[in-house]
Amino acid sequence: MREVYWIRHAQSTANAGARTDATKAVVLSPLGAEQAAALAASWSVRPGMIVVSPYVRTHQTALPLKRKFEAVPVEEWPIHEFTFLSRGLGDGTTAAERLELAKPYWQRMDPFEDLGEGSESYASFHTRVAACLSRAAAFRGTGPLLVFTHNRVLCQLLTMIVNPPRDVHEGMRRIHGLCTLGRFEIPNCGVLRMTVADDGALSLGRFDLAATPVAAT
Q: Which of 12, 16, 23 is nearest to 89 (CA)?
A: 23
Calpha distance 163→212 (Å, rounded): 30
- Contact criterion met (CB below 8 Å) for 132 and 78: yes
* pLDDT at site 174: 93
> Which architecture does CATH list for 2-209?
3-Layer(aba) Sandwich (3.40)
Q: pLDDT tens across 191-209, in order?
A: 999 999 988 889 887 656 5
* pLDDT at site 216: 37
**Alpha carbon separation from 201 to 30, 78, 86, 191, 217 (Å, rounded):** 39, 23, 37, 20, 40
**Alpha carbon separation from 98 to 76, 143, 204 (Å, rounded):** 27, 39, 31
Helix (H, G, I), strand (E, B) or coil at 11: coil
Calpha distance 199→203 (Å, rounded): 12
* pLDDT at site 215: 44
DSSP string, 15-78: TTT--BS-GGG--B-HHHHHHHHHHHHH--SPPSEEEE-SSHHHHHHHHHHHHHTTTS-EEE-S
0.85 surpassed by pTM: yes
- Contact criterion met (CB below 8 Å) for 35 and 189: yes
DSSP string, 137-180: HT---SS-EEEEE-HHHHHHHHHHHHS--SSHHHHHHHHIIIII
Residue ranges, the chain, pLDDT below 70: 87-88, 181-183, 206-217
In what helix (H) or strand (E) does residue 205 lie, and over which residues does it extend?
Answer: strand 202-209
